[in-house]
Structure formats: structure tokens, C-alpha cells
Structure 1
């Protein structure tokens, strides 16, 4: 049996394409103005590091503002919460990403807008870090989140550097307010280089899942930052990550998220899933039109809204009975706990391992306490596909969790 998750993602992608091609690429950066506006990819990363992706998932692009939550995480891990809060606040600005948005104290309102991100850049690394050491720490740290070594796109870096006048003015403003420790030119160069790191949509999903998993990369098992850092970062992403569209995003999608002007969007749902989406056409807020559509669809279809009351999760698989144990070739898969998307996805992968022969399959749900709409649909689809593969399937469901 082949798990249906990729088929579903392809359906989401095709639906988003069919809704039209609104938006425009970020043409104020010369290198970004030359990108193919029709590229589109979606990826999911699960709690155990399984990555699903469709579309232009191997196409690489610069991370841009998607780097902000991860550099904020590094600054928190390196300097501590109190030190970072001395320089950058956590309040939503309600302003565009490149506005001069300061509190009365002169502190940038949050680390997700440019003036806050430029300030945060210099807080990565130890107290006495040089600009080069801060940048090295950022490359190392973001590579840890992605699970592979990231590199800078030098052409995009130079292109952005030549058009960084506004960011330079923001840096001087932060310096004048006593919030920026670095020389403004070094801060803007470092921030621009940070934004020029190259990723693909699968990287975004893994990075998002690392945040959602308490700082542990699900593929490498590296603890990139402490769990408390992830809680802080996700909280700020939830209220500030989508700029002046953050309120609409949180009410309609309900997943802590961040966007970037290259066309990427990532969503990080604590304990469940990391989402990456990419399409270069942007709306008036600087968010990818298609990527936002895809995240809306995923949230609505899979019940991923943060404010939706969750089922209590527990372990999924507790036993698989091999054919020889039954004596008649029957394979038995026993599940337990609560079936939501994350749990049902693991169960589907267990069913995916059933060989394509005509041996009977027993799906034992006697220890499954409940299933939400998504978990129920996924398990029923798994049963349907097993039958299409030629298996006789018997479902033991004494708690009627698969009934509507």
C-alpha cells in the first residue's frame, strides 16, 4: 500500500494553481525579479522526520525573512531571554515589514520585522562576537535546523546589498536608540547575508518541525536549541510572523508561521508537523499567494488550527504480528491511542510496509480510544488501498472509532 499523503498534497497544489495567478514577484530586488513566478512546491515534515513533498521541491531559493525566527532562536540560546528583550520586544507592530516600528523606549517592536531582525542578528553568538563570528554562528545554527550545511547565494547577496538603503536607515535608527550594538554597516551586511542562505521547501518543513519538536531536528536528532527557546519563538511567530496580516493569518490558519519575499512560507505546529511552501508571487503584505492558500487548505482539511481543542496523543503502534505467528499468513497491525493526523500518518506507514500479496490483514483498533475526522479518513483510506492491493482486510473496531 502507498500512503495517500503525497497524493493529497498534490491535490492541494493543483487546487491552489487552479485558483489563479494573483500577485507579483519581489521585483525591487533585481535577482528576485528574474525568478520563475510559476514555481510551486509544498512539503510536510512529521515528528519522526518523514518528509513528504510535491511540485518544485528540489528548486532552491534564498531564505530571506524566513531566517528571522531561527536567528531569534539562536540569539535567545546564546544570550538568554532577558538580554534579548533589552534590545527587541515581542509585540505585534501592525506595520509593514520594512517600517520604522519602535516602542516609546526606542526598542524595535519584535524580531520578525526588519528593524528588529537587524538588531537580533548581532545578538547571535557570544557577548564579544565579531560580525564574522556572528555570521558563522548563524550559518552553523540554521544548518542545524535544516539538517544539512546551508550556503549563501552570493549573487542575491550582492543584489540585495546594492538595494539596502532602507535597511541601512533602519540600522542607524536602532543604533541611535542604543539598541544595536554593531556598526550599522556590519549589521546590514550580516543580515543581508543571512537572508541569502539557500534552502528548498523540504528544508523549510524540517526547520519548522525542529521548532515544533522542541528544538530537536527530527532527521539528525541534534538538539539545536533548548525547548524553552522554541516556545518563545513560536509565540512570537504566532502574533508577528506574517507582518500586518498576522491577525488574519492566526484566525484563519492558526499555525505559528513566517514568510519571506522570495516566496517561502513555513508553518510550525507544536508537537505535530512542520509545513514548507514556496511560490514566488506575493500579495500586498509580502506573503506568497499560493503558499498562503496551501497553508489555509492544510489547516482546514487536517484540523491543524492551534486553537482547535486537540485530542490527547499517545503512542500509535504497539504490536505487529508477522505471518508465521498466525500460521495462516495473516498480518495483524495493532494500534493504540488517539488517531489525529500525526498518529494516523505513522499508522499508514506501518500499513504501507505490508507486502503486496493476497495475505489477509487484520487492523486491530481495540486500544484506539478515539479518532478525529482526519485520523478516521486516513485510516479508512488505508483500508481501501489495502483492499485494492488484493488483501482481505478485517477491521476490529470495538469502540467504533471509524464510525461517523
Structure 2
């Protein structure tokens, strides 16, 4: 076992004794899950999937489908059109609450059921099969393999889904979506019934973590902008009425599902997924939540942790083969990082002989933010003749 997998195994064993919570029973098929199942998977930038525990067990994606259907809606409609139908504010209420704005009837966010149904209605499709096909194809692209629907779970969800149907009728009465209610609701039930493993969810998470590019297949699934929008909503709304405390304690965008899955994203670092069927009072997996919380503390995943690299990109000064000096930049150049680069250049101005050519080589930078590049170019306007920027 490689060192990273060994760490994952230790985390899993640390939380295994937790036995609080209950398996979801309001959908009959979910009530049959083995409550002792436990799994964890992570995927980094090179696309290697590391997983431990019951990592081959398949379960239905349930509400974890919501961020990915939102991503598809954003791709098809754009942010403004999506926001015309569903908001982006935390509800502070359970996932199945009637969380609608008083005047407009617009659902407060896409992560609660009402908002997810509205989002599903935005997906193009002439009927249930057409719309569902587009959704499943998108989920499959995020996972890097073909996914399919558990028909028995779908039938169980449809047979017991009166509350979701009522929410859909209420949404339609407010003009949030048009067309037959049943088409939208059945599409929603079917998207929730897609089968995944914890390994699939980790790949899906990593695709969001790396700006919409699947690190396993190398394919761009959605735009970087759409991925960022989705993560923003997940940060504040993904864990329902526990979202605020989750962000405080764990600090990563996450989404849970009532089958016991939990997906968390460390942007630009890795995707994480955990699975254990016992749920707490918020509908989030008890042990999967504990797993991700432990990883966040151990690996420094919190979004608001201090990251010195943005303010201190790599700067290496050496003699240039053709004469003069070469300044090689590495790492990531954020706006704050230009201060360090500018300080090095000013020191060179003060120490180098007049007329010494200086080449600033930015080709090894992993990422350059537009504001940082503009600031760096502005610095060159004040530099003596002979300073050159190579990108």
C-alpha cells in the first residue's frame, strides 16, 4: 500500500467505531443498505484514484447529483438565466423544506429539493428520456465512465415522491418552470437514482476541483466558470441546514446524499468522496462527514487557511548565457505575488551595472492571474531599458 493510501486507511479506521445515526428509510429501497459500509477515495491532479474500504460498493447518487445538474444548466443557459429560476442563498432549512422566496416563489438555492427540481426543469429535453439522457451523459463525463440508473430505486422514489411532486406543482404555479410537472419530477427522480461508487464520486469531485477538466480522462466537461459557480453554491448550501457550521469547521465545498455519500472539493488540490449509510439529523452521513473533517484538518484543506504561495511565487536569479541576468518565475503568480517579484527587480536595478540586460522568464509559472499579469507589466514601465518579459 502506498503512503497516501495508508493515511486514508488510518483515517477510515479512526472513524469506523462511530455508530450514531440511522439509514434513510423514507425511500424503501434505501432502507435495505448495510449500515456498516464505509469507504473513502481521493483523486489528485494526475488522475490517480486512491481508495480504501468498501470502495467498489455501488449506491445511488441521490442529492449529490444536484451540483452536476446545476453545472449542466449553467452550461446550457448561463448564470443569469439560471438565477431567474433559482436563487443562491443558504436556506437554513432541511433539504425537503418549502424554501421559496415570498414574492417570486423562486427556490432559495439549487441544493434543496425545490431548487434542484427547478434546475432539472432547465435542462433541455423533449421528454423524460431525452432530458434524463442528457443528465446521465453529463454525470458520466464527470465520473469518467458510463453510469446507469438503478431502476428499482427509481421506482421506489417515484412511488413515494409525493412531497417532491407537491413542490413541483407549487413551483409551476409561480411560473418557475413550464411544461408537464410529471416530466420534470420523473427526470429528477431518475437523476437521483444513478448508481455510483465512492471512486466515481471522487473523480467527479476532482473534475470540479480542477476547473471542469476530468483529471482521469483529460476531457473538459464544463467551463472553469461553471465549475467555480457550482463550488460557490456548494460552499454555502451543500450541507443543508448544517452548511454554515460545516464551512466553519471543515471549510470545503461539499455535497451530501441520503444514501450515505459525501463529496468534498479541495480546489486545485484534489477531490474527495466518502460513503457510509448512517445519517445524522441533517441528512448527512455521520461517518463520511467525520472522514472529510479529519482529512481537512490533516491536509490543510480549509478554504480560508493561509496560503503563502500566492504571495511568494518562486523567483530564481542567475547569470544569462548570452550575458546579463535571467529571473525565472515559478509556481502561481497572484496579485499579491507581484510585490515580491517587483521587489527583486528593484533590487536588481540598484545592484546591476547600468545597461545590464535582464530577462524575466515567466514560462514556468503554473498559473498567472490576469490582475497579477497587468500589475507585473506595469512594473516594467518603470524599469530601465534592457528589462524584458518572456511568457
Query: TM-score scaled to structure 2, two decimals?
Result: 0.78
Q: Residue 60 of structure 2 aligns with which residue?
A: 62
Partner residue in 2 for 1:207: 204
How many residue pairs get matched? 315
Describe the shift of the 1:239–1:216 C-alpha distance in structure 2 as closer, same or farther (beyond 3 A): same
Report matched runs for 1:143-182 at 5 Å: 143-182=140-179
Contact kept in structure 2, 1:62 and 1:197, CA below 8 Å: yes
How far, CA to CA, are the matches of 1:178 and 1:241 in structure 2? 25
Q: Distance in 1 between matches of 2:128 and 2:9?
A: 43
- For the aligned residues, what is the CA RMSD? 1.7
CA deviation string 1:323-347 (max 9, x = no partner): xxxxxxxxxxxxx969xxxxxxxxx
- Post-superposition shift, 1:185? 1.3
Q: Distance in 2 between matches of 1:46 and 1:215?
A: 14
Task: Tell me the distance in 2 between the aligned counterparts of 1:174 and 1:38.
Answer: 38
State the partner residue of 2:5: 6
The alpha-carbon deviation at position 3 of structure 1 amounts to: 3.1
Deviation track 1:24-74 (CA, whole Å, cap 9, x = no partner) reads: 000111100011010000000001101110000000000000000000000
1:139 to 118, 136, 140: 136
Match of 2:14 in 1: 15
3-state SS in 2 of match to 1:98: coil
Give the Cα separation in 1 of the matches to 2:292 and 2:152: 30
Residue in 2 that maps onto 1:102: 100
Structure 2: gaps (5+ residues): 315-329, 333-391
> Secondary structure, in 3 states, of the residue corresponding to 2:139?
helix
Q: Which of 213, 221, 227 is the equivalent residue of 2:218?
A: 221
CA contact (8 A) 2:127 2:183 kept: no
Give 1:247's match in structure 2, choosing from 239, 244, 248: 244
Q: Deviations over 1:99-133 (max 9, x none)?
A: 000112110000000000011012123xx643332
Residue 309 of structure 1: how far off its partner (Å): 1.5
CA contact (8 A) 1:61 1:198 kept: yes
Whether the 8 Å CA contact 1:122–1:131 is kept in 2: the answer is no
> How far, CA to CA, are the matches of 1:269 and 1:173 in structure 2?
36
Following the alignment from structure 1 to structure 2, what is the Cα–Cα distance between the partners of residues 74 and 13? 33
SS for the counterpart of 1:266 is strand
Secondary structure at the counterpart of residue 83 of structure 2: helix
CA–CA distance in 2 between the matches of 1:4 and 1:77? 38
1:52 aligns with 2:45: no
Structure 1 runs (4+) deviating above 3 angstroms are: 128-131, 313-316
Tell me, in whole angstroms, the C-alpha distance in 2 between the residues paired with 1:29 and 1:3. Answer: 39
**Preserved CA contact (<8 Å) 2:62 2:259:** yes
Rg (Cα) greater in structure: 2
Q: Where does residue 231 of structure 1 map in the other structure?
A: 228
